[in-house]
């Protein structure tokens, strides 16, 4: 369980991120107000804000300025929200609820939801480029951030993982295929978050960079396994969406391969490995406690 001062720090991070996201999404040209409303609807629906939070915390423990990193870190939440909007579409996972409210396409229609996801995707890179133009980050840092993020959300990253997921429904696959699916669909954006934090810090320490990458790999996999567990053991009230959808759609998960007990054991092992990689950093207490909390989360 997190200590009270770290809970306060977590809440402060989330409040800061949420305020910045509201500011980023506040510009609404009249001619495209409907899609802007849909973007804001999904972006402000709640969520743990884990990805921008990881970027900010790695920036901090690697010696960077989190205030200058804030908007670039928020770009990760724009990408994450776009991916959720698209995942929920009828042609994908066909989910009617997300974070306790109607999915974007149920509220605004499939066409507007599709465009809202597209617009959030492009807005993420606009935000990073704008931060470089304003001088909050250097142009070199901006290019490196865009490189890290774009590589991990494309056909060999998050989108590639979604393709494997769709094409694996109702089919027998190997655990190696499931690992690849997870590493791309879920793990790649978590890796992007951690590495973007490192880039934003300005550090050139290769030992720390490798520790960041290894931590992200272990956390990303553990995070997905816990998601699979919650789809079996969670509730609509906690998750904000129906449970059991993985089984209904014939999806391959770590629970189907390992069983509930095996999946829980694997998630715990990966979390322990992730925690060990954090030993490479000073002032790591908050991140260690957060990592432990993600293992036992209920949503």
CATH number at residue 119: 1.10.600.10
% of the chain exceeding 70 in pLDDT: 95
The tokens for 120 are 């959030």
Domains identified in the chain, total number: 1
Q: Is pLDDT at 20 greater than 80 in this prediction?
A: yes
Q: 267 or 46: which carries more pLDDT confidence?
A: 267
Question: What is d(CA 72, CA 172) in angstroms, rounded to the nearest whole number?
Answer: 40
The residue with greater pLDDT, 209 or 232, is 209
Query: Please, which pLDDT band fits residue 238 given cuts at 50, 70 and 90?
Result: low
Q: The whole model's pTM is what?
A: 0.95
Please report the pLDDT score of residue 235 as a whole number: 66
Q: Residues 269, 276: contact at Cβ < 8 Å?
A: no
Residue 233 pLDDT: 86
Residue 105 clears pLDDT 80, i.e. is over it: yes
CB atoms within 10 A of CB 172: 7
Q: What average pLDDT does range 232-250 have in this prediction?
A: 68
Say if residue 61's pLDDT is above 70: yes
pLDDT score, position 74: 98
Residue 169's domain comprises 4-295
| pLDDT mean across residues, the chain | 94
Confidence of residue 243 (pLDDT cuts 50, 70, 90): low
Q: pLDDT at position 240, please?
A: 63
For 6-19, letters b (16+ CB in 10 Å) and e give: beebbeebbebbbe
The four Cα atoms 13, 15, 19, 20 give a dihedral, to 10 degrees, of: 10
∠ Cα 25 27 29 (to 5°): 130
Residues 6+ apart with CB under 8 A from 262: none
Mean pLDDT of 184-189: 96
Stretch 26-45: mean pLDDT: 94
Q: What is the spatial distance between Cα 247 and Cα 116, in angstroms, rounded to a whole number?
A: 29
Higher pLDDT, 251 or 143: 143
Average of per-residue pLDDT across 159-188: 94
List CB contacts of 261: < 8 A, sequence separation 6 or more.
Answer: none
């Amino acid at each position: 369980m997190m200590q009270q001062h770290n809970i306060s720090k977590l809440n402060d991070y989330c409040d800061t991120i949420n305020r910045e996201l509201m500011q980023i999404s506040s510009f609404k040209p009249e001619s495209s107000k409907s899609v802007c409303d849909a973007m804001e609807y999904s972006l402000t629906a709640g969520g743990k804000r884990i990805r921008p939070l990881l970027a900010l915390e790695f920036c901090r423990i690697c010696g960077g300025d989190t205030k200058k990193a804030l908007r670039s870190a928020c770009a990760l939440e724009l990408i994450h929200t776009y991916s959720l909007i698209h995942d929920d579409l009828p042609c994908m996972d066909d989910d009617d609820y997300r974070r306790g409210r109607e999915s974007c396409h149920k509220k605004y229609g499939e066409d507007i939801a599709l465009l809202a996801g597209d617009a959030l995707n492009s807005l993420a890179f606009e935000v990073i480029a704008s931060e470089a133009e304003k001088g909050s980050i250097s142009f070199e840092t901006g290019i490196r951030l865009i490189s890290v993020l774009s590589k991990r959300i494309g056909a060999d990253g998050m989108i590639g993982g979604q393709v494997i997921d769709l094409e694996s429904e109702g089919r027998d696959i190997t655990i190696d295929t499931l690992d690849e699916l997870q590493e791309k669909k879920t793990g790649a954006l978590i890796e992007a978050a951690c590495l973007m934090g490192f880039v934003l810090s300005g550090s050139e320490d290769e030992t720390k960079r490798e520790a960041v990458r290894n931590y992200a790999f272990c956390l990303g996999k553990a995070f997905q396994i816990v998601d699979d567990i919650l789809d079996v053991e969670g509730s609509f009230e906690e998750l904000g969406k129906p449970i059991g959808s993985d089984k209904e759609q014939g999806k391959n998960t770590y629970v189907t391969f390992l069983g509930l007990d095996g999946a829980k054991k694997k998630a715990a092992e990966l979390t322990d490995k992730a925690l060990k990689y954090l030993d490479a950093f000073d002032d790591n207490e908050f991140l260690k406690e957060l990592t432990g909390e993600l293992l036992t989360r209920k949503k």
